[in-house]
Each structure stands twice: as C-alpha cells, then as structure tokens.
Amino acid sequence: MKTIGVVDTTFARFNMGSAVVDEIKQHVSARIKRVTVPGIKDLPVASKKLIEEEDCDLVIALGMPGSKDIDKVCAHEASTGLIQAQLMTNRHIIEVFVHENEAGSDKELAYLMEKRSREHALNAVKLLFKPEELVKQAGTGQRQGFEDVGSIGM
C-alpha cells in the first residue's frame, strides 16, 4: 500500500490539509501521514522527514503565503527548499501554495484554497497510481483552482 504525506501550516487561514486528506480518501486507498508546522519555511524539512522517516511515497505540501513583499520572499525560499528536498529523496513533493492576494475576498480565498488543494490531491494520485493519465494531459493548459485554459494550435 502506498503512503502519502500531507503537511500544512498553522499560518494558513484555511485547513488545506483536511481538504487534501478528504479528497485522497474519495479516490484511492492509501495510508496517509499528516503533520502541521508553523509556517511555509518549515515545510521542506517536514516533507523530507515524512519521506525518510515515515516512508511516504509522495508528499503534498500546503501553504498560504501572505501578501507582503517579505511573504513573497519566504514563499520563494520555501519553494527552493521543497525542490531541493525532492532532489535529495527522488520523491515528488507537490507544492500547493495559494497566495493571500490571489483572491479578492476572504470567501473567494477560502474557495480557492480548498479547490486548489483538492485538484492537486488528484495530481498526486495520478503521479502515484496512473502517471500515463498525466501524459495524456500534456500541453492541455491545466490550472488548479481556476478554470483550465486549454491547448493552443497553429
């Protein structure tokens, strides 16, 4: 049985981790390991520990960077660390970040955080269980949380 790690933050304003766990359970039978850390900069090592100490085959790392300049820098640092953690373990870590200023209101923000989290949970499921489905979607303009934009031709 595959094991999927889920890590989110206490900084975020919506429980992204629960949305992901719920979505995964609707689609596949997998062992799930969930942890929560204070902020997005704590995600890289938490993800790596889930892979190396809890035998996760893939991790979903969830966060909500704030809207200030310094928050953008933090998000960049966290992303860099998440990529590095993947390279050190040869395991995918799906980063799901929703920037606080991507939405115009709290309601829209919560909607976006839930939708993107669930859609990326499906990407994680495909990567682990049916990677050939992703090849079929190559170049089709998929977007998570927003409407897909589709392919372009010549």
Residues 95-114 that bind a second copy (CB under 8 A): 95, 99, 106-107, 109-111, 114
Residues 6+ apart with CB under 8 A from 30: 1, 2, 3, 4, 24, 128
Residues 1-20 that bind a second copy (CB under 8 A): 8-18
Task: For residue 2, give both structure tokens.
Answer: 């595959």
Residues 55-94 that bind a second copy (CB under 8 A): 70, 72-88, 90-94
Least distance CB 1 / a second copy (angstroms): 21
Residues 114-133 that bind a second copy (CB under 8 A): 114, 120, 123, 127, 131
Q: How far, in Å, CA of 91 to CA of 56, rounded?
A: 9
User: What is the identity of the amino acid at 3?
Assistant: T
Which of 27, 38, 54, 55 binds a second copy (CB under 8 A)? It is 38
Element spanning 9, H or E:
strand 3-9
Q: How far, in Å, CA of 120 to CA of 37, rounded?
A: 20
Which of 1, 104, 147, 152 binds a second copy (CB under 8 A)? It is 152
Residues 6+ apart with CB under 8 A from 107: none
Decide whether 26 or 149 has the Cβ nearer to a second copy.
149
Least distance CB 22 / a second copy (angstroms): 13
Least distance CB 101 / a second copy (angstroms): 10
Residues 41-60 that bind a second copy (CB under 8 A): 41-42, 44-46, 48-49, 52-53
Find, among 4, 63, 69, 64, the residue nearest to 34 by Cα: 4
